[in-house]
Structure formats: C-alpha cells, structure tokens
Structure 1
C-alpha cells in the first residue's frame, strides 16, 4: 500500500468519500429524519377515552409567562439534547469505524511487531527484513486483540466509557474523532503510540469542557482521581516491563 502512486491514493480516497456521501445523503439522512420525527410523534399529547368511548386529545394550556420557568426550560433543553443524541447515535457509528481503522494501523502493529520481526529473521536468515509483513500474522494479531477485548475488556470499557465522565453520543463522536485522527497521523509518521492514551485523554478533556460549560450538572464532571490513577499506571508500566525483560535476560545468560 505504501508503494501506491499519489494519483491512485487520491482516486481511492475521493471515490470512497463520494460513495459514502451519496449513501448518506440519499438513504441515511431521510431514514434518520423519518425515525426522529416518528419518535417525536410518540411524545406528542396522549390520547384518552372519555365516558362515551370517544378518543380525546389531552391538551394542557400553558401561559406564555410560564414558559420561562426553570422547570420548562430544563425540560426543553433535555428534549433538545435527546434529539441531538439520536442523530449522533448513528454518526458515532462512522467515527467508531474510523477509530477501528486507526487502531488497526497502530496498535496491531505494536502488538504483533516483535513476532513479525522474529518470523522474518527466521525465514530470511537476516535482520534486514527486506520482505513485507505477512498478512496472516497481522490477522493473527487482530484476532488476538478482539479475543482479549471479548474476554477481559469489559472493565476497561466501563472505566473509559462510564467512570471517568459521562459519555453521550455527541461527546463520544468528538472523542473518537480526535483520538482516531491523532492515532492515524502518528501511524502515517511511523510513530508507535497508544490509542488508549489518546482516547483516555480525549474523554477526560471533553468531560472537562462539558463540566465547564454546565457546572450545575454533576454527571458531567470528571473523576480526576481516577484519571490520575490511570496516568500513574502508565508511568509504572515502562519500568515494570523493563524490569521483567532484564530479569528474563539475566536468568537465561
């Protein structure tokens, strides 16, 4: 893929962009509009039956002055946020695909890189590694990461998605977009970084901005104590991994 000429890269990129834009504009957008309007109709004034068995619409008369009450303002804001979240619920699916693509371009290489190096040295008999990375080994690494997520990833998902701060589809869209863009840029530059670091940082500071804009809502506050514990765990992993390697080398020499 790295050997493709620029015109082929641009052709593939713009063709994919055009196809996705057409599908979203002619199919996804009308479907989302119908779905949101349908959900809004369900929340319209309820029907009830009078003594004669006729359906009657319940109507509540509200004065213009009462519309400015804090309760109604809060209810209106919650309704607006709910409608926006319904829209971003589907947009977040696209950013999740983007995040998965960026994650595979960096973290899979980090995890399976040592195994690929050992395999190429074994097959070629040289450390120069002239051939490309075997696709099967990359698939093996991706399968291993999916298996680990399925078996052990629940607690990590809860920590990132629930415990640091409250995540909604709108904030999740922002978090995934920023983290995936950072990881993808680092992958293009050949810099091995952790998508976990990027996503945790995005979650924490998106939550910080939400808490700053809406100080009265305690659900939007960030658990900085938990965030500090995560940072401390990151700092511990470097010397811990180095100590394990040194111990292993000394035991085998």
Structure 2
C-alpha cells in the first residue's frame, strides 16, 4: 500500500525531530571537530563555518550513507515490526525525540555528550518497548549489533589517543626538540603537508564514493591516488608556502602580505629587512589567555618565543578575584562580549543594542507591559538567535576565570605544557586547516548516517507501507537536507561546546591541534569503513588526552573533566534509551477506541 496517508502527522513529527537531531548533532559533534582549530587560533570561527559547510557536505554526500544501514536495520530487525509500518514509523520517531531531547539539554548546559550513542541508545530503547529485549541485536551481528557499536565506546578514544600521540611525538622529535626549531619547522613543513594530504585523500578514495564507484577500485589505484595527492600537496607547499614562510619567520619581513604566497620561488630573492636581526616576526600570539582584562586583538601580534607573552600579560596569580564566584566571572566575561557586539554596525549590533536598551520589566512574563515588550523585542530576538553564534568569540568567553577553582585547575594543567615559539606554531596553523577539514569530512561521512537513518526509515515506511523498505538505500536529498541542518546547528549554537572542548581538557596550540584532529579523523575513517557508528566527541576527546600526555606528565590533562565526560557517555545510554523507550511503551499500551 503506497503512502500511508493516515500517518501523515507521524511523518511530519518524525521529520521535525530528525531536523532537531541533526541540529543538535551539529551544535555538539561538529563543534567538537572544530573546537581545537578555533581555540588554538589557527582559524577564525567564521572561516571554520565556511569550511564546515563545504567539507561536512562533501563527506555526507560522497560516503555518508554507509553507517546509516547499521542504525536502520542492525539494531532492530525489520521483521520485529510484523509488517506494521505504522509501528515502525512511531518507533523511530520516538527514538529521534528521545535522542534529540537529551542532546539538546546537554548542549544547553555545555556538556558534550555523544549524539551518536544517544541515538543508538534511543533506538535500542524503542526496540525493547516494541519487540522485547530478545529481539534487539545485542551481540556483534556482523558488526551491526549493539555489541559491535558499544565496543567503540572503549576502542575509539584509545585508538584516537594513540594516533594523536604518534603524530605529536613525530612533530616533537622533528621540530620542537631542536635547539633552533624555527628553521626545522619551515623546512619540514612539506613533509607534514604530505601526511595531511594523504590522509585527506584517503578519506575520499579509500572509503570510496558510491556514486563514483571508487570503493570498487583495486588497492594499487587507491594507494597511487592517495600518495599522488599527498606528494602533490607537498610539492606545492615546497614551491610556494616554504619561500613565503621563510621570508615571514626567518627573514622576519614585516611588509610581507598573505597574498604574496603566490609569488613562490620569487620570494627567495626578496631582500632581508635592514633591521632583520633586531626585528621580530609578525605572527599571531597563540598563548591561551585567562586573565580578565583580555581583549582580542585583530591585528597580528609581534610577540615571539616561549616567554614573549610575559611582557604584556600579567601572571594569572596576580589577577585573581577571590570574592567572586565562577558564575559571576563568567557573567562578566559574557557581558564584555555583549558590549563588543553592541558596537557592531550590522544587524546583530542593532539587535543587541535594542535588547539592551529595552529590558524586560518587573513582574512575571504575563504582565501586560512585559507582553508588549516581548512583542517589540521579538524581531531583535530572532536576529540574535540567527547571528549570535556566528559572532561569538570563545576567547573572550574563556577569559576572566582566573582565581576560581576552574581557573586554578586550568592554570595547573597549562603549567605542565611547554609553550613553543609562536613562529613554530604559526607553521602548523596552516597544516591544521587541512587536518580540521579532514576531521570535518570524516564527521560528515560518519555522523550524517546516524542522523539520517531514522528519518529514512520513517520516510520509506510512510511512502511504501512496508517495514522491509528500510533496507532501501538512503536518498541523496535526505542526506543533503540533514547535512545543511547539521551545519546550521554548528553555526548558530556550536559555541556552547567549543568554549568547553577548546580549553578545559589540556593546553591547545596549532601543532597540538594538528595532531589531535589528525588522530581523530583517522579513527573515524577506520571505524566508518567497517560501518561502525563512532562518536566524534569520543574520538577528539581521546586524541586530546593522548596529545596532552605527550607533555610527559599526567598533570598536563584535566582528569576531572575527562572523568565527567566519561560519566556523561555512560549515563547517556540508559537516559536516552528511557527517554525514547518509555513514550513508545506508553503509546503502544494506551487504550484503543474503535
């Protein structure tokens, strides 16, 4: 029976919750993928948004449907619905509702749980409510059962920690441990471009695009294309990037512009500045700042070396505020950000000024004067809701916590991380752009399948009237729609997670961030290749901890925050399962009237 029109309402509700789940996925997991790059100042938040849009869509559209089959059919077999497509639609609608509600609550409170495991737990919960525990695939089930999926809860962080640590130890051995690391960073940069380019190409070629049939190519083809891309990128970097970087950080040419990278070999003959010996390279200052007087500087900083920040930044201990709580200092930092936004000339500046000048009055929200104010404030509130996230400055938000327990804890963690010269870190800020895009592509390839699978089941059951239709391929238009919603979630609400992930686990810098992102990306790609949904949150967390341990001490990692993360991952399983399973059981057990 084509098209179950009696369930049009259920199709609409399922679509809404599918959009909400994708939105929360973007606000949570995509933010995790880009938090390291933005926090280490390798890329601006707005540039991260553009790159996320491009690479999340690429990953989703080329290889994103692979993990969808696991969630669609690997946990609850279609036969468990006994031919009732309406029950199948209800089951996956409840799963989306339970998972999205839990992730939304956690994101609101800056707790970055796994949206992947939230959805998987929710599907398991509705499976128990619908067909009983015996019909849920608890075992391995050829890599599609809950046993295989939850194995990633332990394997993914460990694997990503290993890959991240190996990458950073390689950078330390080749560059950081040298007596004069700046020339080593310049001359070895093509090698790390080679690694990043090869991994990025493997993300596309080795996994293969179903539309292009790349996954059917022989191994020799995959190796040739991947290495060819990597060596091609390394050659381009040697011809154009190395001369430009040499002039910037070794010749210390203070007149060099970013666009002059296209001059390539011609920059070798560019003369040294007359004061080159006493001049400093104009590169950003990548030091993490906690003091309350921090004001972001859009101009490039001329501070260099390990101790360069000591001249202009007072020690954290001298800036403590012992009589203020952490919440009060957070509110002050947020107000500094809002004051900055109110100075803008665009729509957001107008909206922030209008809301600031027209606060809600005394009394409850239903008071007449407040209801009138809400009506007047509504247009400005909509503008803020759409644009606030894209203008959020996580560096301002993270400043001002010195003297609080959280600030003191981060001070202790940062004290065990060696600060490398800004010229060296500047080199890896460009490589990190590639690794961040690779991580974003990997996320789109893996997590879009998790988001689209329940919606695809609901749509196929509604359009065909047959539960077995869930085995049909996921439509490309569905993947594209949810990929756009996913990026929109990152743009508008991703800052909530980025403020936590980018500062509270360990010290971040471009060279460290490159290693973290590369380790997480490799792990996600490997797991996705075997059709195992894996959490981006878990991968980037594991890689962050692995790189943090490379500082040589356990004290370089905030184990309290890591413990809270692990606890949140564990409690996600029963909570998301109950939030989805209980409504499903209640609806199925409700009285029926003829």
For normalisation by structure 2, the TM-score amounts to 0.34
Describe the SS at the equivalent of 1:112.
helix
Over 3 Å counting, the alpha-carbon distance change for 1:239 and 1:43 in structure 2 is farther
- Alpha-carbon distance in 1 for matches of 2:501, 2:472: 38
Partner of 1:111, secondary structure, is helix
Report the Cα offset of residue 236 of structure 1.
1.0
- Asked if the contact 1:211/1:222 (under 8 Å) is kept, the reply is no
**Does 2:576 correspond to 1:235?**
no
1:123 to 1:157, Cα distance in 2 relative to 1, 3 A: same
Check if 1:26 corresponds to 2:367. Answer: no
In 2: Cα distance, 1:197 partner to 1:21 partner = 31
Shift of 1:15: 4.9
Worse-superposed segment, 185-194 or 118-127:
118-127
Contact kept in structure 1, 2:306 and 2:420, CA below 8 Å:
no
Superposition pairs for residues 119-134 of structure 1, below 5 Å? 119-126=459-466, 127-129=468-470, 131-134=472-475
Q: CA deviation at 1:23?
A: 2.7
Shift of 1:38: 4.8
Establish whether residue 139 from structure 1 lines up as the match of residue 474 from structure 2. Answer: no
User: Residues 121 and 28 (structure 1 numbering): CA distance in 2 closer, same or farther, change over 3 Å?
Assistant: farther
Q: Tell me, what secondary structure is at the counterpart of 2:503?
A: helix
Residue 26 of structure 1 deviates from its aligned partner by 2.0
Deviation at 1:163, TM superposition (A): 1.2
1:45 equivalent in structure 2: 278
CA distance in 2: counterparts of 1:25 and 1:74, whole angstroms: 27
Q: What's the CA shift string for 1:73-107, capped at 9, x where partnerless?
A: 9659x896322201111110110011011111111
Q: Which residue does the alignment assign to 2:328?
A: none
CA distance in 2, matches of 1:74, 1:154: 29
Q: Does 1:6 align with 2:217?
A: yes
Matched, 1:157 2:498: yes
Distance 1:167 1:80 in 2: 11
User: For residues 125 and 17 of structure 1, do their structure 2 counterparts lie closer, same or farther at Cα, with a shift above 3 Å needed?
Assistant: farther
Determine if contact 1:160/1:203 at 8 Å carries over to the other structure.
no
Aligned with residue 208 of structure 1, among 549, 562, 565: 549
1:115 aligns with 2:417: no
Gaps of 5+ in 2: 1-208, 254-272, 280-304, 309-417, 589-594
Q: Secondary structure at the match of 2:502?
A: helix
Higher share in helix: 1
Question: Is it true that 1:191 corresponds to 2:424 in the alignment?
Answer: no
1:251 to 586, 589, 592: 586
Q: Distance in 1 between matches of 2:419 and 2:532?
A: 43
Match of 1:83 in 2: 423
- Aligned residue for 1:234, secondary structure, equals helix
Q: Deviations over 1:133-177 (max 9, x none)?
A: 222211222222212222222121121111111100111011001
Distance 1:167 1:74, change over 3 A: closer
Cα distance change of structure 1 residues 28 and 132 upon mapping to structure 2, 3 Å threshold: farther
How far apart are the structure 2 equivalents of 1:125 and 1:22? 56
2:122 maps to what in 1? none
Q: 1:30 to 1:242 in 2, by over 3 A?
A: same
> Closer, same or farther in 2 for the Cα pair 1:79/1:111, shift >3 Å?
closer
Question: Mean alpha-carbon deviation: is it higher for 12-21 or for 236-245?
Answer: 12-21
Aligned CA-pair RMSD: 2.8
Output one character per residue of 1:200-234: Cα deviation in whole Å (capped at 9) or x when no partner: 1111231122152xx9xxxx822111111111111
Q: Secondary structure at the match of 2:580?
A: helix
Give the C-alpha shift of residue 113 in structure 1: 1.5
Displacement of 1:129 in angstroms is 4.3
Distance (whole Å) between structure 1 residues aligned to residue 427 and residue 447 of structure 2: 30
**Distance (Å, rounded) in 2 between the aligned partners of 1:19 and 1:206:** 28
Mapped partners of 1:103, 1:130: distance in 2: 23
2:229 to 11, 16, 32: 16
Range 223-232 or range 118-127, more displaced: 118-127
- Give the CA deviation at 1:128: 4.1
Higher relative contact order (CA 8 A, sep 6+): 2
Mapped pair 1:148 → 2:494? no
Measure, in 1, the Cα distance between the counterparts of 2:464 and 2:229: 37
Give the count of matched residue pairs: 220
Give the match's secondary structure for 1:162. Answer: coil
